[in-house]
Amino acid sequence: MMVPLPEIDFPAGICHFVATPIGNMADIGLRALAILAQADVVYAEDTRHSRPLFKRYGLNVPLISYHDHNKVRVVPQIVARLQNGDRVAVISDAGMPCISDPGYGLVKALLADNLPWTVIPGPSSTLAALVLSGFSPDRFLYLGYAPRKKGQRRTFLLDALTEPGTVLILESCHRIRSTLEILLEVAPDRTLAIAREITKLHEETPRGDAAELLAVMVGRKLKGELVLVIDGVGKRSKKSSEKNNDSDSKKDDRSQKNYGSKGDRR
């Protein structure tokens, strides 16, 4: 059964950031399809990656590449199209544009030129991983990609481990073992989860400490990106608490002084 696309209003000159599937092409929303179908042009992070989606849903819209390596040249072109009244849509390879994606460079340009934009929400690997992890969703911190260099990644992880809430980090399948080895060294008892192949046939989210997850990952042929989820400490670290207490004490001292001077004036 064919489901009709909804009738939508796509005003000229407004940039639409459209979320696309993170693995399963059936996850794209009807409103997203309607927007893409009516766009004059769609800017995609990798047109080769996006063409199968467009082919599946019969979208005959020009696709133009917009990525980190050409953004200096392409962003002014997008701005010019919007100023001329074109209906422009921007998509990522997967998920929401601008989240760990070059789309944010375009947002800054739109702000600078006072041009409007909106979002068509949809699939998100980080939110899916948060739910799949089984950790508390009440407070969470998304940190994007972990640094490539091991020393910088170690510092990055040490900082992440002080977060009271759940922490979500994107990691390459080629570096996940190295990252788990660092966590085994600095936080051997912390509970972790790794969400992989989200929305796909072989989706899985193993949980455990770093040693247990390393055992799961050994000898496996991994593909693509993973979402590493770190269970939060549940309360601020001692160092963080001491820093905050010192800051609060200084604020109290300043408040007392300010209150006294106001009284003198009165």
Hey, is 41 helix, strand or coil? strand
Which pLDDT does position 204 carry in this prediction?
Answer: 95
Which pLDDT does position 33 carry in this prediction?
Answer: 97
CATH class of 126-230: alpha beta
- The pair phi, psi for residue 139, each rounded to 5°, is -140, 125
On the question of a common fold for 15-123 and 126-230, the answer reads no
Sign of the CA dihedral 227, 230, 231, 236? negative
| Percentage of residues of the chain with pLDDT beyond 90 | 81
Which pLDDT does position 163 carry in this prediction?
Answer: 97
CB atoms within 10 A of CB 186: 13
pTM of the model: 0.85
CATH topology of domain 15-123: Cobalt-precorrin-4 Transmethylase; domain 1 (3.40.1010)
The ranges assigned to domains in the chain are: 15-123, 126-230
- Split at pLDDT 50, 70, 90, the class of 251 is very low
Asked if residue 256 has pLDDT above 50, the reply is: no
Instruction: Give the list of residues 6+ apart from residue 150 with CB closer than 8 angstroms, or none.
Output: 178, 182
Asked if residue 127 has pLDDT above 70, the reply is: yes
Distance CA 145, CA 16 (A): 25
The region of weakest confidence among 106-110, 161-165, 167-171, 220-224 is: 220-224
Which pLDDT does position 186 carry in this prediction?
Answer: 98
Look up tokens 């300010």; give the residue.
258
CB 179 within 8 A of CB 153: yes
pLDDT in tens, 178-237: 999 999 999 999 999 999 999 999 999 999 999 999 999 877 788 888 999 999 998 654
